[in-house]
Chain A
Amino acid sequence: MTRPATEPLPPHPTLRGSAPADPATKSQAHRSHADTLPTSGSIRRRLTVQLVGSAAFLAALLFFIVLVFTRDVSQQTHDSILEASATSIMDSATVRADAVTVDIPYAALSMLGNVSDDRVFYRVRLDGAILTGYGDLPEPNARPRQGKPQFETRGYQDDSIRMVTLSRRISVAGRLSELTITVAQTREGQASQLADLTRTALHIGVGFFLIAACLAIWTAQSNVRPLDELAGAVSRRGPQDLRPVHRPVPSEMVPLVSSLNRFIDRLRLSLSRSEDFIAEAAHRVRTPLATVRTQAEITLRRVERAENRASLREMIRAIDESSRAAGQLLDHAMVSFRTDTLAREPVDLAALCHDLLERLTPLADLKDIALHSDLAQCPPLSGDPILIQNAVRNLLDNAIKYSPAECNIRVVLREEQSAEGTRLRLSIMDEAGGFPSDDTDALTARFVRGSNAGGTIGSGLGLTIVREVVEAHGGHLEITPRPATLPNERHGSCVSLYFPCQP
């Protein structure tokens, strides 16, 4: 972790860094917060619905356009064949011996038969008189203009027919007469063709819609992806990761991300200030406390009245407690910083324990406590020796402090195989009567002290420190009650630290 150079230097070299308290409680809070956050709908859903809706609208539009267009073309095709038929009949009209006669060409009607199996009707009329054909065909609504075909859709013999009427003036026996040709065809073939066209148009419309809908969904997904990726990247961050977001984002998201970065920056600054403040305060309090304690001891030797001695001892006890709390606050600040920037080197856990036990033996001897060690030779652990030492010392301190006089404390180190691979187990067993509960999470919370801590000096930070150290090394902490097994033994607890060999 790199820190901006502009940050004010903390007063204590080991106190740098920031550490949010308990990762578990923090992530829980985070999750529950997200669940209750009100939402104003999903962008992906809104985008998908809008795009698919547009696609459906366009597909429907396409369907109708294709339908209208093909209907038009189909109608025009039919009409032009009808017109060709009528024209060929018109062309066969001749004036012979002052009478008009019509010699209908075979093709005039057979061409209609080639288009469909529809019924065909025709009528040839000169002025009012019907020359040939179906005299009862309906009259055209409008009189056809010279040379212009008149198309109509009418009913005839319980059927719908398409009808074309052509008209031409011809001179018969010296006077102008109007020759009118009507050709009609039922529309069954056209209707079935239109049904086919409708089906085709429907297929085109549905196909278009499906393709457009797929594209719409894809577009919505790909547009929301950067948002998802950013959200994923931010929510995947560890609880102590307060780095600014540097990944490239779409330009629309830049204001949001830069605001977020500024917010993170402010948060980090404020966290580090409060940690620094605590460390600084603890540091400043501890030194004068030492002076006060020395003075109090000197005074204790001088005074002789029993009640004065008692209150001085009480004073010394309180000073001890304050000074220990300050020390642990400092330890904790140190641990927080070092776990942030964990420096790994091979640590011989057995040697480390051995040293610590030797150092603590005088303290244990004061209470006639026997320290037993059973340290197997283990492969070195990769980690920060200062942190590990601090954690183990805290545990041993606790064990000595809470154990009654004349009892045993055992330290066992073993190499074990577990599901995750090889790990080292360091167990410290005491006869201190055990913890009031087995809830490791609760016991290791900051400033929480066991209900049996009673008059013993402590700050409630010890187990927190141990847990943070173990977890920083990828391991975990387990606290189990330990019933008395030997006749002259008292029951206690077993605190085990598990470190993976290959973190």
Chain B
Amino acid sequence: MHRLRGLRVLASVLTTTKPGPVGGALIVTAAMALAQLGWTSPAAAFEIEDRRQFGPLGTGPTPDKLRVLSTTDTDLLAPLIESFLRERPSVTVDYISLSSAELMRAIVEEDAPADLAISSALDLQTKLANDGHTRAHRPESRIRVPDWAKWRNHVFAFSQEPAALVLSRAAFAGLEMPTTRQELMALLRRYPDRFRGRIGTYDVERSGLGYLFATQDVRAAETFWRMMEIFGRLDVQLYCCSSDMIEAVASGQIAIGYNVLGSYAQARADLAPDITIIEPQDYTNMMLRTAVIPKGAKRPDIAGAFINHLLDAAWGATPDPAYPFPRYSTEEAGPTAALRPIQMGPGLLVYLDRLKRAHFLEEWRETVLQQ
């Protein structure tokens, strides 16, 4: 019930805002907006995608201002922000959305004034916390945050979103849908011509999330490289983001989207007749959307309250209708179940290592691009 309501919110967001490339025009408008709001100049050195202000719009700087840097679309979180502000009439939220790499740069290099950083790049968030760029927060004790959904009381996850298989119904007509990676590989081996050029996955060199999913696959299964080799031989198509892959599968351009963000696919109710979303039963990586409070936060109290609000919506006993993500029960997902939340902790730093990343990308290129 509630999960459906959440999906509907997400669907409306995805259909109204077209995910597109970051255009220069957008930066210009954002820069203008910044000038109007009196944003200080050094912070503008990172690229932002969108900026919106919630709450009372005053001309001068309001004291109760929460500055959020986020990789999540503004419209997606808007209902939660509004429900947060409803109880705090004096608080203003300045919401800036940007890419995860820019978010990292803004905080580490630019020292951007931010009270809260929300990102889907769990590894980068972990690195922020590990390298001492964040501060601790103690969630209210009534909110039962699962142990695997927080690290050091610095990084807090407030969503679980699966890396799913998205299949085109048309392309699989007459075939049994694979439910595991083994079945998928067997299928590809049996019908190579049917799927040649019709497999899509993340370009891990361009997409941070794609890289995270791929490295987690390496960790989780020995078969990853074998599957990548099959993908490579069948001319895999590479995408920058989940939404493009979903569109491509729905349009019949490709038959299989691998490691697609399941929450986005489920949200596209309009495409439901054309696509099937499968959470592989051997294992499904669960992406965790996380929030941290940067060390330079001026209002850690409001940031903490907002984190509590997010955690309550995600893990609280009563589902918040404004929560835009599917709610998985915390028992269903866990380290032993097929649904595996990406494990937080210093292990995530490994794949951010310069040499490690170079190795991985080299191998990936060799396997997938057959270079």
Contacts and interface: CB of A to CB of B under 8 A. Distances in A.
Nearest to B152: A117
A113 B345 contact: yes
Interface string A468-499: 00000000000000000000000000000000
A110 B346 contact: yes
Interface string A142-164: 00000000000000011100000
A119 B130 CA distance: 5
B97 interface: no
Interface in B345-371: 345-347, 349-351, 353-356, 359
B151 interface: yes
B352 to A, nearest CB: 10
User: Chain A: interface secondary structure?
Assistant: mixed
B132 A109 contact: no
Contact of B350 (A101, A104, A114, A124): A104
Contacts of B344: 113
Nearest to B216: A106
A102 B346 contact: no
B359 A105 contact: no
Contact of A133 (B130, B351, B353): B353
Nearest to A100: B355
A114 B151 CA distance: 11
A188 B151 CA distance: 13
Nearest to A106: B350
B345 A104 contact: no
A119 B132 contact: yes
B345 A110 contact: yes
Nearest to A102: B355
B356 A109 contact: no
Interface in A98-140: 101-110, 112-114, 117-121, 124, 131-134
B343 interface: yes
**Interface residue range, chain B:** 20 to 34
A226 to B, nearest CB: 60
Nearest to A159: B132
Contacts of B359: 101, 103
A296 to B, nearest CB: 117
A98 to B, nearest CB: 16
A108 B129 CA distance: 19
A113 B346 contact: yes
A423 B132 CA distance: 99
Interface in A159-218: 159
A160 to B, nearest CB: 13
Contacts of A104: 350, 353, 355-356
B142 interface: no
Contacts of A103: 355-356, 359
B219 interface: yes
B346 A112 contact: yes
Contacts of B129: 119
Nearest to A131: B355
A109 B152 contact: no
Given A104-B356, A110-B345, 16 more contacts: A102-B355, A103-B355, A107-B347, A109-B345, A109-B350, A110-B343, A113-B345, A119-B132, A119-B152, A120-B346, A120-B349, A121-B130, A132-B353, A157-B132, A158-B132, A159-B132
20 contacts: A103-B355, A104-B353, A106-B347, A107-B347, A109-B346, A109-B349, A112-B346, A113-B343, A113-B347, A114-B345, A117-B151, A119-B129, A119-B132, A119-B346, A120-B346, A120-B349, A131-B355, A157-B131, A157-B132, A158-B132
Interface of A: 101-110, 112-114, 117-121, 124, 131-134, 157-159
